[in-house]
Amino acid sequence: MLTSLELMQVTGVSRATLNNYIAQGLIPRPVVQKPTAQNHTRARQIGYFPQTAVSRIQHIQQLKKSGKSMAEIAQKLQAEHLGSSASEGLESALTGRSPADTAGRDTLLGLLEQRYEVIRNLLKKRLPVLTDIAVLVADLQSSTRIRAELPPEEYFELINQIWAAMEPIFRRYYGTHGKHVGDGMVYYFFPQPDCNYIFHALLCSHEIKAAMRKISKEWQLRKNWLNELYLNTGLNAGQEWLGVFHVETKVEFTVLGDTLHHAAQLADYARNGTVWATKNLLGKLSTEERQRISYGIRRKNQEGQEILVHTSYSRIAELLDLSVPKHDRLRNIAMLPVTEIIDIS
């Protein structure tokens, strides 16, 4: 096992680069434990990386030298990981044996991202399965009005452009597309052996928000209009039953339970491209991960000015007037503690 300092010395990467690789799930997160005598440190706990982290970083460095982008490297490493671990999961599934450990289940969940016929057959046998999950729901704000203002061909072009821009981001953070009605999108994030799936969901929401700003500016210039295009996002985490709906030509993943419904209602509550998450989701992060997130509730002071109360939560019932008829749809999450995700460092 290697400390972060030893790993940086062996590979020549900086602290910032190492942290970036960890955040993107390119190398496993360190195991925190008491330092050994040879480390000569007063710290009560220290993070250790496996020896394989050295070869992984060297592999990343080789791929970078060959001209590949970080997105391409992430996709390649994910494919290599799935390829090396799929045989065990496939053998267990085909023979009808249930994997006895968590790694076996994670292998099968990782395979959900593939759409081959053999995977469809496996899913028919293996699901539903009870799993920890993070859910991201993103809805296009004022989609009805935008649809009315644009010619049909341009509206479809816009929606396809949004999907094309967002799909690589979801794929980079191991998001699995789920069933959704309308113009929005649902993605599920499952536990991974080498990264925090909940933090990945948050990073993903941060990136799609930035991507949507670029698309909005492009269409403002193109149409010479003042409309702002927003994806309003809701995030939640929980433990739910994952299953599939089998259609003739595809398999659609769906989750039973409140985790998805609450995320969808948070997306419905969000406005102007904001990202809202439940207190439950943030509570599942480590202290270090939570410190990287800027979040809070916007309040009005005595002068009527809006201020951000950092690292705070609020129940939906305290954020808007639920007696207004148009807010009836949010009544069942009235007591849900939530917060707005402002930024991620």
Q: What is the pLDDT of residue 94?
A: 37
> What is the mean pLDDT of the segment spanning 308-319?
95
Asked whether the predicted pLDDT for residue 75 surpasses 70, the reply is: no
Answer with the residue of higher pLDDT: 253 or 283: 283
Lowest mean pLDDT among 50-64, 87-101, 132-146, 215-229: 87-101
- Per the prediction, the chain carries an average pLDDT of 82
pLDDT tens track for 113-141: 443 343 344 355 456 778 889 999 999 99
pLDDT score recorded for residue 86: 42
Contact yes or no for 281/134 (Cβ under 8 A)? yes
Output the pLDDT for position 278: 98
Residue 96 has pLDDT above 60, yes or no: no
Query: In the chain, what are the domain boundaries?
Result: 1-68, 69-122, 129-344
pLDDT > 70: what percent of the chain?
79
Mean pLDDT across the stretch 143-149? 93
Token pair belonging to 191: 């536990």
Task: Say which range, 91-95, 272-276, 302-306, has the weakest mean pLDDT.
Answer: 91-95
Q: Average pLDDT, stretch 297-315?
A: 93
| Least confident residue range of 95-99, 133-137, 304-308 | 95-99
SS3 annotation, the chain: CEEHHHHHHHHCCCHHHHHHHHHCCCCCCCEEECCCHHHCCCCCCEEEECCHHHHHHHHHHHHHHCCCCHHHHHHHHHHHHHHHHHHHHHHHHHCCCCCCCHHHHHHHHHHHHCCCHHHHHHHHHHCCEEEEEEEEEEEECCHHHHHHHCCHHHHHHHHHHHHHHHHHHHHHCCEEEECCCCCCEEEEECCCCCCCHHHHHHHHHHHHHHHHHHHHHHHHHHHCCCCCCCEEEEEEEEEEEEEEEECCCCEEEEEECHHHHHHHHHHHHCCCCCEEEEHHHHHCCCHHHHHCEEEEEEEECCCCCEEEEECCCEEHHHCCCCCCHHHHHHHHHCCCEEEEEEEEC
Check residue 128 and give its pLDDT: 75
The pLDDT tens digits for 220-246 are: 999 998 899 999 999 999 999 887 776
Residue 152 confidence (pLDDT) above 90 = yes
The pLDDT value given to residue 46: 75
How much is the average pLDDT of 254-276? 93
Q: Which CATH number fits domain 129-344: 3.20.20.150, 2.60.40.10, 3.30.70.1230, 3.20.20.300?
A: 3.30.70.1230
Domains 1-68 and 129-344 agree in fold: no
Average pLDDT over residues 327-342: 94
Whose tokens are 């929005």? That residue is 184
Look at the block and give the residue holding tokens 């452009």.
161
- The per-residue pLDDT for 16 is 81
Confidence of residue 79 (pLDDT cuts 50, 70, 90): low
Q: What local confidence, expressed as pLDDT, does residue 4 receive?
A: 83
Q: Which CATH number fits domain 1-68: 1.10.1660, 3.40.50, 1.10.3470, 2.60.40?
A: 1.10.1660
When mean pLDDT is compared across 70-74, 206-210, 266-270, 298-302, the lowest value belongs to 70-74
Q: What is the pLDDT of residue 19?
A: 81
User: 149-153, 190-194, 227-231: which has the minimum mean pLDDT?
Assistant: 190-194
Mean pLDDT, residues 138-160 taken together: 93
Cβ-defined contacts of 116-122 (< 8 Å, 24+): 118/90, 120/246, 120/251, 122/90, 122/93, 122/94
